[in-house]
């Protein structure tokens, strides 16, 4: 029998799981009681599949329990009457229709006239996390997919990626404080920010690139966030990494661009809350410059400034000050961070040149300040011609769209339409039978979703609007379910349930978690709502396999262009508030 009651004895202790259901409550049985020592058994019928478990035992006397073979003692109440025992790593999985038992041995003191020892014990299955399924906002009747729900869930995905000290408003019950001691080479506080993907590295380059794309979506399609009730959540969403980007700027010409070591991090499968490996940090300086990453930080902060300037002028002004300084650093000390820091992010998010970021950062600073010098820099770094696409490492097309917007010049329009000629059917970007444009098979959907967003902004600016909107919608709809399955965790029909994502693959704390959580066959215990997975391979195949980090990982940069595309009011309301039609 599953009892969905809050057991008050649990709350004698720090109340970690007050909301988790108790699977079974039993009494201590087979008791031998010597007045100062006792032995007994706890036998639990298992009535559902268990992954990670906790037993709270409440005695009628203060006791001193011995360790047993099955569990470790996790916590003890101040009066020694209540013990919380947690499964050992080797013993976390239990199948329905079995029983699990353990011997309980302890010492205590009573007079012979006192009643004998007794105990009740409640088992909590830590596969549960108490996370409430987000309430689904009302869909627009004429729409195939509920865009409001996608926006809400995508923002929740970013919340699950938070590193550092979580605020009391945290909505992800299976996440706690983590990596609180992340620091710079002189002890500067570098806690906070987002974990990059399914791992726990903090990579400034893609992080800042994600923030720029999200801020752009907020600036461009603010109506949609407001109409779907997500505006405040969205501000919180990008404020979190923006604060970290400012922390990372530890000196005028000094910028931290990574925390954590790739190899050490990737050898650990578990929760960020449990990490113990060294987390070195890496910075660019005058001697080790990185105009690519610096200009991207400047872009994120300048677009963040625009997003926040009316809402929180003081915060926005701080962002702009940092953005100006960092862009000046990028200009004066030019170089690529891959060359300057070859042992770090270069292996994961390498960059071969910085012109695209200098163009992009300059354009955002021009939009933020109106100062011509930034427009001049932006134009100077632009390379005429068509683009590969928009990604964490390539902002060429994004910059062209901004330059077209601010100058109205035909040369930018020509490069943008030329790029989309390549991307549309009949161009040089291959298509799957499903109709998905597949630029690159490592995270295929994010590249396409980024371009869907770029197409929607180009459409706003009057370039082939009907065609670009229809194309963007067709691509986003494939991610949302047009092939018969959703590629967004916790959304739509047959969504991925085994994303390559460490923290959601673990049972609830305090159950131990390790490599076994990667290889086990069951769904991730926690639903990582809103995470867009990598997506189909070059052959069009896809497997919901946790081990596959090309097709089934999630990442901050995967969701950024995707979320901004979904936020287009043309998609959401079908007919834009101010009159655009599909
Ligand atoms: C546990 O013991 C109490 C007190 O003797 C009894 O009322 C209760 O029914 C027992 N519960 C179970 C599950 O055996
Ligand atoms: C576990 O087994 C019980 C009894 O057969 C059944 O009612 C229940 O649905 C099963 N639960 C799960 C989660 O499989
Ligand atoms: C609880 O047990 C510890 C030893 O394990 C002992 O030091 C402490 O005094 C006990 N407290 C109570 C209230 O019994
Ligand atoms: C830095 O910029 C100067 C002037 O534009 C250029 O000559 C030089 O090649 C650049 N250095 C690097 C490493 O890109
Ligand atoms: C620039 O972007 C703004 C905001 O989307 C839009 O209102 C304006 O029409 C655009 N201008 C051009 C020339 O594209």
* CB atoms closer than 10 angstroms to residue 149: 24
Instruction: Quote the ligand 2 centre to 47 CA distance (angstroms).
Output: 6
C-alpha 543/C-alpha 528 separation (Å) is 17
- Do 410 and 376 share a structural domain? yes
C-alpha 482/C-alpha 250 separation (Å) is 46
8 A C-beta contact, residue 460 and residue 220? yes
pLDDT at 1 (0 to 100):
30
Ligand 3 pocket mutation pick from 12, 63, 80 by most atoms within 8 angstroms of CB: 80
C-alpha 506/C-alpha 515 separation (Å) is 10
Burial of 105 (0-12, 13-18, 19+ CB in 10 A): middle
- Do 189 and 97 share a structural domain? no
Give the helix/strand (H/E) hosting 92: none
Nearest atom of ligand 5 to the alpha carbon of 407: 13
User: Domain for residue 399, yes or no?
Assistant: yes
Q: Find the residues whose C-beta lies inside 6 A of ligand 1.
A: 26-27
Local structure of 345: helix, strand or coil: coil
Nearest atom of ligand 1 to the alpha carbon of 120: 1
* CB atoms closer than 10 angstroms to residue 467: 14
What CATH number did the domain enclosing 105 receive?
2.60.40.290
Pairing of strands 71-76, 64-65: unpaired
Nearest ligand atom owner, CA of 31:
1
- Do 209 and 65 share a structural domain? no
335 CB near ligand 4 (under 6 Å): yes
Encoded tokens for 38: 């006792």
8 A C-beta contact, residue 224 and residue 276? no
72 CB near ligand 5 (under 6 Å): no
- Do 154 and 116 share a structural domain? no
Q: Which residue, by CA, sits nearest to atom 8 of ligand 1? A: 27
- Do 256 and 299 share a structural domain? yes
Instruction: Quote the ligand 2 centre to 48 CA distance (angstroms).
Output: 5
Query: Which of 66, 90, 125 is where one domain is finished?
Result: 125
Nearest ligand atom owner, CA of 334:
4
Q: Find the residues whose C-beta lies inside 6 A of ligand 3.
A: 62, 64, 79-80
* CB atoms closer than 10 angstroms to residue 185: 13
Encoded tokens for 366: 């021009």
Q: Which residue, by CA, sits nearest to atom 6 of ligand 5? A: 461
* Domain range for 476: 147-577
Question: Residue 44: beta bridge partners?
Answer: 100
Ligand 4 pocket mutation pick from 288, 334, 357 by most atoms within 8 angstroms of CB: 334
Residues ≥6 apart with Cβ < 8 Å to 535: 436, 443, 444, 445, 446, 479, 487, 542, 551
- Do 430 and 385 share a structural domain? yes
User: Domain for residue 134, yes or no?
Assistant: no
Does the reported pTM lie above 0.85? yes
Residues ≥6 apart with Cβ < 8 Å to 122: 7, 9, 10, 22, 24, 25, 55, 56
User: Domain for residue 8, yes or no?
Assistant: no
- Do 336 and 231 share a structural domain? yes
Nearest atom of ligand 3 to the alpha carbon of 62: 14
Number of domains in the chain: 2
What CATH number did the domain enclosing 306 receive?
1.50.10.10
C-alpha 358/C-alpha 378 separation (Å) is 6
Q: How many residues comprise the chain?
A: 582
- Do 155 and 40 share a structural domain? no
pLDDT at 17 (0 to 100):
60
C-alpha 530/C-alpha 504 separation (Å) is 12
Burial of 507 (0-12, 13-18, 19+ CB in 10 A): buried
Active-site residue numbers?
Answer: 199, 500, 544, 553
Nearest atom of ligand 3 to the alpha carbon of 64: 5
Q: Which residue, by CA, sits nearest to atom 10 of ligand 2? A: 48
User: Domain for residue 258, yes or no?
Assistant: yes
User: Domain for residue 13, yes or no?
Assistant: no
- Do 419 and 315 share a structural domain? yes
Q: How far is CA 261 from CA 32, 200, 209, 210, 291, in A?
A: 53, 10, 20, 21, 22
Instruction: Quote the ligand 1 centre to 151 CA distance (angstroms).
Output: 49
b/e 262-284 (16+ beta carbons within 10 angstroms → b): beebeebbbbbbbbeeebebbbb
Query: Which of 65, 94, 125 is where one domain is finished?
Result: 125
- Do 32 and 108 share a structural domain? yes
47 CB near ligand 2 (under 6 Å): yes
User: Domain for residue 54, yes or no?
Assistant: yes
Q: Which residue in 350, 358, 287 sits closest to 326, CA to CA?
A: 358
8 A C-beta contact, residue 363 and residue 403? yes
- Do 523 and 432 share a structural domain? yes
Q: Bin 229: left if φ > 0, else alpha if -120 < ψ < 50, else beta.
A: left
Local structure of 565: helix, strand or coil: helix
Nearest ligand atom owner, CA of 107:
3
What are the 10-residue block averages of pLDDT along the chain, 582 residues in total? Answer: 36 56 96 96 97 98 96 97 97 96 96 94 97 78 84 97 98 97 98 98 98 98 90 98 98 98 96 98 98 98 98 98 98 97 89 97 98 98 98 98 98 98 97 98 97 96 94 96 98 98 98 97 98 98 98 98 91 50 42
Instruction: Quote the ligand 5 centre to 460 CA distance (angstroms).
Output: 7
pLDDT at 10 (0 to 100):
41
461 CB near ligand 5 (under 6 Å): yes
User: Domain for residue 186, yes or no?
Assistant: yes
Pairing of strands 53-59, 202-203: unpaired
- Radius of gyration, alpha carbons of the chain: 27
Query: Which of 95, 125, 155 is where one domain is finished?
Result: 125
97 CB near ligand 2 (under 6 Å): yes
334 CB near ligand 4 (under 6 Å): yes
* CB atoms closer than 10 angstroms to residue 99: 11
How many alpha carbons lie under 13 Å from residue 475 in its C-beta half-sphere? 32
- Do 183 and 217 share a structural domain? yes
Instruction: Quote the ligand 4 centre to 291 CA distance (angstroms).
Output: 11
Q: How far is CA 73 from CA 76, 455, 482, in A?
A: 8, 56, 49
User: Domain for residue 2, yes or no?
Assistant: no
Alpha helices in 393-437 (DSSP H): 396-407, 410-423
How many alpha carbons lie under 13 Å from residue 257 in its C-beta half-sphere? 35
């Amino acid at each position: 029998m599953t009892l969905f009651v809050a057991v008050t004895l649990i709350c004698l202790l720090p109340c970690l799981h007050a909301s988790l259901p108790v699977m079974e409550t039993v009494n201590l049985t087979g008791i031998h009681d010597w007045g100062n020592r006792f032995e007994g058994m706890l036998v639990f019928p298992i009535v559902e599949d268990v992954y990670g478990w906790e037993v709270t035992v409440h005695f009628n006397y203060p006791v001193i329990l011995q360790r047993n073979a099955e569990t470790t003692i996790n916590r003890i109440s101040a009066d020694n009457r209540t013990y919380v025992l947690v499964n050992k790593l080797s013993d976390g999985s239990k199948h329905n229709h079995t029983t699990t038992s353990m011997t309980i041995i302890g010492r205590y003191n009573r007079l012979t006239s006192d009643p004998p020892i007794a105990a009740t014990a409640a088992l909590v299955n830590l596969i549960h996390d108490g996370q409430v399924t987000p309430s689904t906002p009302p869909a627009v009747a004429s729409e195939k997919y509920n865009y409001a729900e996608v926006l809400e869930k995508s923002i929740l995905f970013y919340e699950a990626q938070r590193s550092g000290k979580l605020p009391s408003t945290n909505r992800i019950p299976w996440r706690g404080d983590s990596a609180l001691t992340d620091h710079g080479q002189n002890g500067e506080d570098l806690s906070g920010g987002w974990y990059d993907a399914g791992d726990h590295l903090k990579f400034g380059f893609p992080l800042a690139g994600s923030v720029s794309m999200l801020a752009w979506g907020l600036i461009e399609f603010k109506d949609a966030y407001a109409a779907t009730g997500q505006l405040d959540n969205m501000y919180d969403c990008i404020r979190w990494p923006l604060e970290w980007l400012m922390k990372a700027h530890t000196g005028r010409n000094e910028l931290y661009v990574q925390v954590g070591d790739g190899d050490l991090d990737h050898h650990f499968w578990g929760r960020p809350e449990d990490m113990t490996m060294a987390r070195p940090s890496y910075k660019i300086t005058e001697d080790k410059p990185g105009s690519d990453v610096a200009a991207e930080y400047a872009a994120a902060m300048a677009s963040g400034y625009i997003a926040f300037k009316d809402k929180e002028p003081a915060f926005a002004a701080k962002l702009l000050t940092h953005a100006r300084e960092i862009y000046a650093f990028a200009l004066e000390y030019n170089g690529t961070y891959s060359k300057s820091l070859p042992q770090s992010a270069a292996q994961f998010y390498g960059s071969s040149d910085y012109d695209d970021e200098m163009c992009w950062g300059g354009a955002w600073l021009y939009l933020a300040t109106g100062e011509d010098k930034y427009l001049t820099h932006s134009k100077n770094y632009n390379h005429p011609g068509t683009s590969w696409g928009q990604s964490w490492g390539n902002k060429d097309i994004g910059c062209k769209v901004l330059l077209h917007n601010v100058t109205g010049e035909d040369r930018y329009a020509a490069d943008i339409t030329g790029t989309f000629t390549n991307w549309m059917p009949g161009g040089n970007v291959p298509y799957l039978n499903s109709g998905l444009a597949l630029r690159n098979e490592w995270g295929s959907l994010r590249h396409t979703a980024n371009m869907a967003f770029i197409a929607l902004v180009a459409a706003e600016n009057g370039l082939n609007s009907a065609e670009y909107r229809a194309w963007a919608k067709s691509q986003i709809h494939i991610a949302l379910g047009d092939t018969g399955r959703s590629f967004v965790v916790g959304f739509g029909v047959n969504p991925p349930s085994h994303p390559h994502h460490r923290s959601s693959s673990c049972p609830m704390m305090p159950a131990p978690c390790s490599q076994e959580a990667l290889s086990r066959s069951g769904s991730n215990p926690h639903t990582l709502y809103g995470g867009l997975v990598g997506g189909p391979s070059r052959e069009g195949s896809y497997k919901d396999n946790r081990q596959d980090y090309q097709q089934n990982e999630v990442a901050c940069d995967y969701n950024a262009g995707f979320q901004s595309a979904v936020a287009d009011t043309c998609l959401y309301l079908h007919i834009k508030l101010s009159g655009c039609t599909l």
